[in-house]
Amino acid sequence: MPEINQQPTILIVDDMITNILILSDLLKDEYDIKIAKSGLKAIEIANSQNIDLILLDIEMPKMNGYEVCKNLKNSEKTKNIPIIFVTARNSETDEEEGLNLGAIDYITKPFNKTIVKLRVKNHIKLKEKTDLLEQLSMYDGLTNIKNRRFFDEIFEKSYYESRRKKTNLALMMIDIDFFKPYNDNYGHGKGDEALKKVSLAINNTLLSHREDDLVARYGGEEFVVLIKDISLDELNKIANNILDSIKKLKIKHDYSSANEYLTVSIGIANFDGNKDIPKIELLIKSDETLYKVKASGRNNFLI
């Protein structure tokens, strides 16, 4: 699970540099400050950097603060960044509009510096808690790789994306061989350690290929890998590399039938986005293929 940034980042958006300076002087000791002098620049920064909170002016030429807020709230990537309007517009209708657009707070100028500081602090604390909850809901507690819930979500999206783009989607089901005897003989603690090592090895193997592939813990000692738009050659190579990376761990296993060390079996479904095959079939196919690998001696893969 990625670590939460030590010093939160605040983006100050205002067309007047004097206003920017007042806010940044107030907050620069406790936060990493980014500035934008236009709405467009603000959107660009929010989309390309990790921003924890935005202080947003309303009256700006070309694109005003309301439009910026609307844009950010409409995009998957930026919709969760809390926005506080900081503005000279002090009518209730303006405040209503700002909050209605999804801003978390509305501060009118001239403002009390201590109150602004405290409000920012409270919103940052909330953001940190929300981020932590989001992380916890995505990651598996034992292995620190993505969990089943996250996989289900991404699998659904990737499946429809490959149908739309008519590209292939590969699903690997990876299962540790003879893991029950491993646990029974070495103990559950050692079993947990092995699970952590195996998941890290699979994750690192995929990272060394392409960064946007997904590795997740599917259940007990089963892992899934989801790879978009890949050639058969490349798929073979990745599967071989995963088997190698597990062998290289040299986790002693005297209670497996054939091998001295812990191994895994991999069943792969390679889905053709041109064909009208239901999503569930990919899981069934990879599971059936995995079963074939198990039946024919394990420590291998099949596509």
Neighbours of 222 (CB within 10 A): 17
Which is nearer to Mg ion, 128 or 287 (by Cβ)? 287
CA angle 252, 183, 223 (to 5 degrees): 85
β strands within the chain, DSSP E = 9-13, 32-36, 53-56, 83-87, 105-108, 168-176, 214-219, 222-228, 264-272, 301-302
Q: Which of residues 266-295 bind ligand GH3 (CB under 6 A)?
A: 294
- Using CB under 6 A as the criterion, what x/- string covers residues 207-246 for binding ligand GH3? -------------xx-------------------------
**Residue 177 binds ligand GH3 (CB under 6 A):** yes
Q: Which of 52, 95, 140, 175 binds ligand GH3 (CB under 6 A)?
A: 175
214-219 vs 222-228, strand pairing mode: antiparallel
Q: Does 179 contact ligand GH3 by CB under 6 A?
A: yes
Is residue 193 annotated as a catalytic residue, yes or no?
no
Pairing of strands 264-272, 168-176: antiparallel
**Residue 78's closest CA among 36, 116, 112, 111?**
36
- When binding is defined by CB under 5 A, the residue of 15, 30, 67, 193 that contacts Mg ion is 15
Residue 23 sits at φ, ψ, to 5 deg, of -70, -40
Please report whether residue 192 would count as binding ligand GH3 according to CB under 6 A.
yes
The answer to whether 228 and 169 have CB atoms below 8 angstroms apart is yes
Q: Which of 151, 178, 223, 301 binds ligand GH3 (CB under 6 A)?
A: 178
Residue nearest to Mg ion (CB): 59
- From the candidates 67, 96, 161, 221, give the one annotated as an active-site residue: 221
Query: Can you tell me the distance from the alpha carbon of 113 to that of 19, in angstroms, rounded to the nearest whole number?
Result: 13
CB contact at 8 A, 31 and 141: no
Q: For Mg ion, which is the closer residue by CB, 277 or 302? A: 302
Q: Which stretch binds ligand GH3 (CB under 6 A): 3-11, 36-44, 164-172, 188-196?
A: 188-196
Instruction: Give the shortest CB-289-to-ligand GH3 separation in angstroms.
Output: 14
Contact call for residue 195 and ligand GH3 (CB under 6 A): yes
Coil/strand/helix, residue 27: helix
CA distance 104 to 106: 7
Binding string, 26-65, against ligand GH3, x = CB under 6 A?
----------------------------------------
Q: Which residues bind ligand GH3 (CB under 6 A)?
A: 142, 175-180, 183, 188, 191-192, 195, 220-221, 294, 298
Q: Which residues bind Mg ion (CB under 5 A)?
A: 15, 57, 59-60, 175-176, 179
